[in-house]
Amino acid sequence: MSTLSLVGLGISRKFITQDAIDTLNSSDIIIFDKYTSRSCDININTLRELVKGEKTFIEADRNLLENNSKIIFDYLDRNYNLSIASIGDPLIATTHISILIEVKRRGHQIKIVPGVSVHCYIISKSLLSSYKFGKSVTVTFPYDNFVDPAPYTVIKENKERGLHTIVYLDLKEDKAMTANDAIQILLQLEEKYKKNVISKSDIVIVGARLGCDDEKVIALTIEEALRFNFGSTPHIIIIPGNLHYMEADAIKWLLMS
Ligand SMILES: C[S@@+](CC[C@H](N)C(=O)[O-])C[C@H]1O[C@@H](n2cnc3c(N)ncnc32)[C@H](O)[C@@H]1O
């Protein structure tokens, strides 16, 4: 019986835990998940530096982890211990759960090492009440002129219940969506569906390069956000629902310039 560990590295180097390092050290093969998220200062070489002893390192894109995961099962069946190391938390806003189920079905062990997720980090830094967040959603790049309406629908449903929405932004091999692009897409969806979900005077909170020395957490109107330079990606957005007066004060005094 072998072990597959899903290791969360946290959103930047300073959040890598001892448990993460120990777990990587106990693995024969370390697969670095380079597609579910990005960090300003963690890459596969960071893991090479942190881990002791002879290891095999593999850099995995979506295709390897989602369509060719048989490679992982084969290694486990041949008695190798494996870690899949992800930026942030390995099971928040990722798709690794199906791998865990198959690993367990084959009679191997699984271990989960949580990491500091962008999800918790932006809730904390936004100063909004963690009790008042609804479903999260991702704005994806338009494909063949098709703009996925899911973010618009989710924000609408959350707002109807007074809840805040965390909006993740799409990542492709060579590019990461900016907050400006995402807001433009949300405005296009408003123009198409006209359900009064997004208006240019609404406040949004944008997080940029969270966990890095140059991180930004800024509250501003949608109109201002369209033109604002948030710096390099990754970016993330919160669309607030109904604000308690304490939340409104916190945003006004602490996050608006
Ligand atoms: C699909 S989520 C994966 C989250 C990851 N599993 C975690 O727990 O942190 C990836 C998206 O989160 C956002 N994100 C991740 N890290 C970030 C950071 N350090 N600063 C701002 N946004 C970030 C970006 O929108 C990115 O495209």
Cα of 236 to ligand 1 centre, how many Å? Answer: 7
ipTM more than 0.90?
A: yes
Residue 118 assigned as binding residue: yes
Give the strand pairing for 216-221 and 235-239: unpaired
**pLDDT, averaged in runs of 10, over the chain (257 residues):** 97 98 98 95 96 95 89 96 98 92 96 98 97 98 94 98 98 93 98 97 97 96 96 97 95 85
Predicted local confidence at residue 257, as pLDDT: 73
Tokens of 102: 């198959």
Q: Which domains does the chain have, with CATH numbers?
A: 3-113 (3.40.1010.10), 118-255 (3.30.950.10)
Residue 11 assigned as binding residue: yes
Non-local CB neighbours of 191 within 8 Å, separated by 6+ positions:
none
Predicted local confidence at residue 256, as pLDDT: 85
Q: Which long-range contacts (CB under 8 A, 24 or more apart) does 140-147 make?
A: 140/170, 141/170, 141/172, 141/177, 142/185, 147/185, 147/188, 147/189, 147/192
Cis before 114? omega within 30: no
Tell me if 83 sits within 8 A of 23, measured CB to CB: yes
Cα of 118 to ligand 1 centre, how many Å? Answer: 5
Q: Ligand 1: which residues within 6 Å by Cβ? A: 11, 36-37, 86, 88-89, 92-94, 117-119, 168-169, 171, 176, 207-211, 234-236
CA 41 to chain CA centroid, Å, is 15
Choose one of 37, 40, 233 to mutate for the ligand 1 pocket test, by most ligand atoms within 8 angstroms of C-beta: 37
Ligand 1 atom with the smallest distance to the CA of 167 is 25
